[in-house]
Structure 1
Amino acid sequence: MKRKKCKTIIDASGERVLKILWGEETYHEWTTAFAQGSKVKTDWQEGSEILFLNAEDEGMVSSIQEKKEPEKMIFKHLGMIDKEGKVDRCSEHVKGWQGAEEIYILKDFNGKTELTVEMDLDEKQEAFFEEAWPKAFKNLHNLSQSPEKTKQQISVKSNIDAPVEKVLNCWANPENIKQWNHASADWHTPSAENDLRENGKFSYRMEAKDGSAGFDFEGIYDEVDRHRRIKYTLGNGRKVTVSFVQNEN
């Protein structure tokens, strides 16, 4: 393992840069340089476990070795976790890099912030991170120097002449989703997957019928209270709540 160092100067305060680095609304944006759909799960306490995950909930199990806001954050990497939640801390592959550190140091630089990142890497990782970190720094610059986003919520409502159980089945069943999930007659949903449970994933393929455009509408369920309330997070971090309320019949 070799310790590699890279740094940049960002025109923002250390507190602002720290918020961008680890904030729920921004972490997945700057880390697109490494992988789409990245996310982090932890309570952010020194000594706590932290999970660095991809869109499939696979990734790294680490610990917060040292936390001193906003000057320093040190992570120690301990193992791997698969999408079923199985943790590997003992395989030969893991032992080859177990204990590697990832260090973030923030220093005031004439009213700006000098961000230094140090990582323990093996030879196979060096080329990837040497290419990815400049892209990540560019994302951090853009996010740190842009105005803070104000959260806005959109609410839509419909009264349906059917019992809650039937409405939920129409909303959640993949075959039914393919029938209603389009905003206009020239679009359709050729395929849909929906694992309706906490931490389950959904993915609807939405395409123009003439093949000119298409995208995957997907996310992860945060809460599932069947027949009452469902909460999920989209791939870009937006939060959604769907409520089913019985109103007479």
Structure 2
Amino acid sequence: MPQTLRFSIVIEAPRRRVWRAMLAPDSYREWTRAFCEGSYYEGSWEQGRTIRFLDPNGNGVVSEIAEHRTFERIAIRHLGGVAAGVDDTESEAVRDWAGAFETYDFTDEGAGTRVSITTDVPAKYEEMMQRLWPAALARLKALCEAPAST
């Protein structure tokens, strides 16, 4: 049975900057290094579109963007796994992830942005995600709060 985990961080940067840093391909690779060095995605963040979250070996999760409200919310519905670049939405091995949601909410807080994450994870991954999500959000915060390059 999936566990629902919640994480939140305040980032001293405008919501647009945080949103872009979280979703743009290059900065996505940077903050998700906390989960796996070389993480990346293929696909689109547009509502209704398929997106694959992958490691350098082509393994990961295949998902659908269930909701996209620009600068406010992204909701991801996980459909199954990806093994060596091949989507798997039916085997016993991926049933733990199928139907799980991951939601990113962006709200103004003072002069900054609060990013709130709600994620369903299989119980066997709960301890790992309790450790990795705060590290990933700390990376996102550092990325967003760094002085803009000229």
Q: CA deviation at 1:10?
A: 0.5
Query: CA 1:57 to 1:79, structure 2 compared with 1: closer, same or farther past 3 Å?
Result: same
Percent identity among equivalent residues? 32
Larger radius of gyration: 1
**Counterpart position of 1:136:** 136
SS in structure 2 at match of 1:135: helix
SS in structure 1 at match of 2:44: coil
CA contact (8 A) 2:81 2:97 kept: no
Q: Within 5 Å, give how 1:68-79 maps onto structure 2.
A: 68-79=69-80
Cα deviation 1:164-187 (Å, max 9, x = unaligned): xxxxxxxxxxxxxxxxxxxxxxxx
Query: CA 1:149 to 1:37, structure 2 compared with 1: closer, same or farther past 3 Å?
Result: farther
1:141 & 1:44 partners in 2: Cα distance? 21
Query: Mind listing any 5+ residue stretches in structure 1 that lack a counterpart?
Result: 151-249
2:89 & 2:81 partners in 1: Cα distance? 7
**Counterpart position of 2:93:** 93
Q: Within 5 Å, give how 1:69-218 maps onto structure 2.
A: 69-83=70-84, 85-149=85-149
- Amino acid in structure 2 at the alignment position of 1:106: F
**Counterpart position of 2:66:** 65
2:58 & 2:149 partners in 1: Cα distance? 26
Larger helix share, 1 or 2: 2
Query: CA 1:43 to 1:134, structure 2 compared with 1: closer, same or farther past 3 Å?
Result: closer
Normalised by the length of structure 2, the TM-score is 0.94
Normalised by the length of structure 1, the TM-score is 0.58
SS in structure 2 at match of 1:148: coil
1:78 & 1:108 partners in 2: Cα distance? 31
2:56 & 2:11 partners in 1: Cα distance? 28
2:133 & 2:100 partners in 1: Cα distance? 18
Q: CA deviation at 1:111?
A: 1.8
- Amino acid in structure 1 at the alignment position of 2:23: W
**Counterpart position of 2:6:** 5
Q: Within 5 Å, give how 1:22-33 maps onto structure 2.
A: 22-33=23-34
Q: CA RMSD in A?
A: 1.2
SS in structure 2 at match of 1:29: helix
- Amino acid in structure 1 at the alignment position of 2:128: F
**Counterpart position of 1:41:** 42
Moved over 6 A (4+): none
1:123 & 1:95 partners in 2: Cα distance? 13
- Amino acid in structure 2 at the alignment position of 1:8: I
Considering Cα pairs closer than 8 Å and 6+ residues apart, tell me whether 1 or 2 has the greater RCO. Answer: 2
Query: Mind listing any 5+ residue stretches in structure 2 that lack a counterpart?
Result: none
SS in structure 2 at match of 1:26: helix
Q: CA deviation at 1:93?
A: 2.1
The count of aligned residue pairs is 149
